[in-house]
Structure formats: C-alpha cells, structure tokens
Amino acid sequence: MDTHRAITLTLTDGVVEATNRRGATLLIHPDGTHGFTPVELFLAAIGSCGAIDVDLLMRKQRDPVGRMTLTVEGHKVGSRMIDLRVTYDLEGEHDPRKVDRAVTKTAEDLCTVSRTLATASPVTHAIGETAGG
C-alpha cells in the first residue's frame, strides 16, 4: 500500500497554485481574492475529510445521505487556529443513533486530517536543492 501523499505548490505573483498527482489544481491567495486563503483550505481539509467519512459510514449502515452541509469554524489567534468545531447538518430523515455513530467514529478514528491535528504531528520545513542557487 502506497502511504506517501504529496502535492506540488507553485507561487507566481503572490498566488499559489496547488497541484495534486492527478493534475487537479486550486488557487491559494493571502487574502482570498484569487482563491482560498491557507486557513480556509485548512478548514476545508478538516471538513471534507469528515464529510467523506460520515457519508461512507452512513452508506455502510444502510442510511445513505443525499446531502449534508458542514460548517467548520474556529478562532485564529496569532499564528494558530483554536477551538475548532465541525458541525454536520444532514438533510432528510436519518436514524439519530446511526448519525451519532458515524460522527463519533469519524472524529475518534477515521478522519486523517483531524486525527493528525489531535496527535500534534510535527511539521518539518526544509530548503530544497534549487533554493538560492
């Protein structure tokens, strides 16, 4: 199983373009005028990971979700986000026990993004071979 995950980021005139291995791209800009801000992407990563996991678990429990809206929020204090919260709103009628089971399992075991944050995984910053050359 390939465990390595990577994206490539290219900065041009203050706008960052992120590209994944499959060629999909998105724009990142400091104030969001040309795409998402880095903090918005951070929040989107948390929420999309949760949405995908909850959707999968609800389908496995034979209570599929047609549409779900998530709100991911927190407070930016200095250079950190604190008090992060993901709120799941599922449209339609669903067994509350199944929803609770899916959200709890996602939060405690499945969502790679929020689980990585919860374990405070270190991030290493390194200078590439072409920098300064």
pLDDT tens digits along 16-64: 999 999 999 999 999 888 889 999 999 999 999 999 999 999 999 999 9
CATH code, domain carrying 60? 3.30.300.20
127, part of any domain: no
* Percent of the residues in the chain that have a pLDDT greater than 90, as a whole number: 79
Q: Could you tell me if 47 and 64 lie in one domain?
A: yes
Confidence at residue 131, expressed as pLDDT on a 0 to 100 scale: 59
- Report the predicted TM-score, pTM, of the whole model to 2 decimal places: 0.86
16, part of any domain: yes
Write the burial class of residue 48 (CB in 10 Å: 0-12 exposed, 13-18 middle, 19+ buried).
middle
CA separation for the pair 65, 95 (Å, rounded):
11
Q: Could you tell me if 29 and 53 lie in one domain?
A: no
pLDDT digits (tens, 9 = 90+) for 83-107: 999 999 999 999 999 999 999 999 9
Lowest mean pLDDT among 12-16, 66-70, 117-121: 117-121
Q: Could you tell me if 69 and 102 lie in one domain?
A: yes
Q: Could you tell me if 94 and 108 lie in one domain?
A: yes
Q: Could you tell me if 83 and 101 lie in one domain?
A: yes
CA separation for the pair 49, 116 (Å, rounded):
12
